[in-house]
Amino acid sequence: MARDPLTDAEVRHFTRRLRAERSRVDAELIRLTGSMRDVRASRSDGVADDEHDPEGPTMSSEWSRIAGVHTELAAKSESVRRALQRISNGSYGTCTRCGQPISVPRLEARPAAELCIDCARILEGRR
């Protein structure tokens, strides 16, 4: 059963949540960029014994871990940016695949959701 469009109060609520999430994610991206810079400097200074440090992971391993987290956070930041853009253009809360409304409980769980639950399941192959 289709629902009415999001109310103004719901749009304000999700706007606040998305902006807070964007701030949190962007702050973490800045922190990780600094960590990546530190690891890069340690790898290139020739002092660190990358493969024989008994105290912890190798520099290469640490670089891979940080780069992976950075990539995930960058994707999340972009997803939140797109959601805020959909709020601006009035299409927030509408599935980008089928055009049906996205349920409020789904938006509560995933405020940046672009797909209704049915389309998300189809694309994940779980139908």
Q: What is the pLDDT of residues 57-92, one digit of tens each?
A: 566 777 788 888 889 999 999 999 999 999 999 999
Would you say residue 106 lies in a domain?
no
Would you say residue 42 lies in a domain?
yes
Would you say residue 27 lies in a domain?
yes
Would you say residue 74 lies in a domain?
yes
Q: Quote the domain boundaries for residue 62.
A: 8-92
Would you say residue 35 lies in a domain?
yes
Answer for the pair 6, 93: CB distance below 8 angstroms, yes or no.
Answer: yes
Would you say residue 1 lies in a domain?
no
Q: Give the chain's domain count.
A: 1
Answer for the pair 63, 43: CB distance below 8 angstroms, yes or no.
Answer: yes
Q: How many CB atoms lie within 10 A of CB 73?
A: 18
Per DSSP, helices labelled H in the chain are 8-44, 59-89, 104-109, 117-123
As a whole number of angstroms, the distance between CA 67 and CA 73 comes to 10
User: What tokens does 56 get?
Assistant: 């912890």
- Closest C-alpha to 42, from 70, 61, 68, 69: 61
pLDDT digit string, tens, across residues 3-49: 678 999 999 999 999 999 999 999 999 988 887 776 666 656 555 55
